[in-house]
Amino acid sequence: MLELSNIVVQYGMVKAVRNVSLTVGKGEIVALLGPNGAGKTTLVSAAVGILPVAAGNIRFDGADITKRPAESVVAMGLTLTPEGRRVFAELSVADNLTLGAATRKDRAGVAEDIDRYLKMFPILGERYHQVAKTLSGGEQQMLAVARSLMSRPKLLMLDEPSLGLAPRIVERIFELMIDLRKSGLTMLVVEQNATEALGIADRGYIMASGQVVYEGNAAEMVDSEDLMEAYLGAGVH
């Protein structure tokens, strides 16, 4: 469904992503792991057209999207929930959700989806008219995910959805990803919580210093202590 081939992304003269190839098949959950500064955020930002690629090719759902602007990529069904729970702080939960559907024209469908996601994230229903900046960190992350879902993605990329959240909320986020997969969503999840991410993923990639240093079956990766220590550090939980 998504095919990144030999992607290079530069910040000025510095190559943050060097020749990375990665695929996500329909219905899969793929985990993208690696230490701070590995290039994970840079890679997913380039995949959705937020950052330009210096070289390489991006295909999504049968089309070459390498040079497509982000808005058009979202309209095709490839959406990123960015790092750091970015929501429109001054807007209400309701307006944040509506704006998530900005690329859609099917008003009835948008209303249906709002109902659906308020059921999935009941806390957002309780906070519906509240300004987003007054939500807790966990609630803001739920809103960021729900807002991304409002674009009706076929493939959702989540950049560190569990970062900085309490264990109970982290667990809830992972449960949600399992539910979303059951509903037919394909996902690429960037995570520092390697064990948990591999626990729900089909396949995993490990990046370090801008390159893919390992790719494999998620269950095998999580069982390989050597691998987890070598690339992800002993501090991985």
Ligand X SMILES: Nc1ncnc2c1ncn2[C@@H]1O[C@H](COP(=O)(O)OP(=O)(O)OP(=O)(O)O)[C@@H](O)[C@H]1O
**Contact positions toward Mg ion, by CB under 5 A?**
41, 83
Stretch that binds ligand X, among 37-45, 99-107, 129-137, 222-230 (CB under 6 A): 37-45
Residue nearest to Mg ion (CB): 41
Find, among 169, 173, 167, 165, the residue nearest to 146 by Cα: 173
Strands 14-24 and 2-11: antiparallel
- In the set 1, 20, 39, 176, which binds ligand X (CB under 6 A)? 39
| E strands in 53-113 | 55-60, 63-64, 78-81
Among 2, 4, 30, 38, binds ligand X (CB under 6 A): 38
Q: Which is nearer to ligand X, 42 or 66 (CB)?
A: 42
CB 40, min distance to ligand X, A: 3
- The 3-state DSSP class for residue 64 equals strand
Cα–Cα distance, 84 to 227 (Å, whole number): 27
Q: Which is nearer to ligand X, 46 or 97 (CB)?
A: 46
Alpha-carbon torsion angle 95, 112, 139, 32, nearest 10: -110
Tell me the β-bridge partners of 155: 78, 186
Helix, strand or coil for residue 206? strand
The site partner of 100 among Mg ion, ligand X, none (C-beta below 5 to 8 Å per kind) is: none
Q: How far is the CB of 161 from Mg ion (least distance, A)?
A: 12
Residue 203 binds ligand X, judged by CB under 6 A:
no
- Tell me: does residue 162 bind ligand X (CB under 6 A): no
Binding mask 5-24 for ligand X (x = CB under 6 A): ------x--x-x--------
> Which of 36, 129, 226, 235 is the binder for ligand X (CB under 6 A)?
36
H-run or E-run covering 207: strand 203-208
Q: Are strands 29-33 and 186-190 parallel, antiparallel or unpaired?
A: parallel
Residue keyed to tokens 């490990």: 206
Is 37 an interacting residue with respect to ligand X (CB under 6 A)? yes
Positions in the binding site for ligand X (CB under 6 A): 11, 14, 16, 34, 36-42, 83
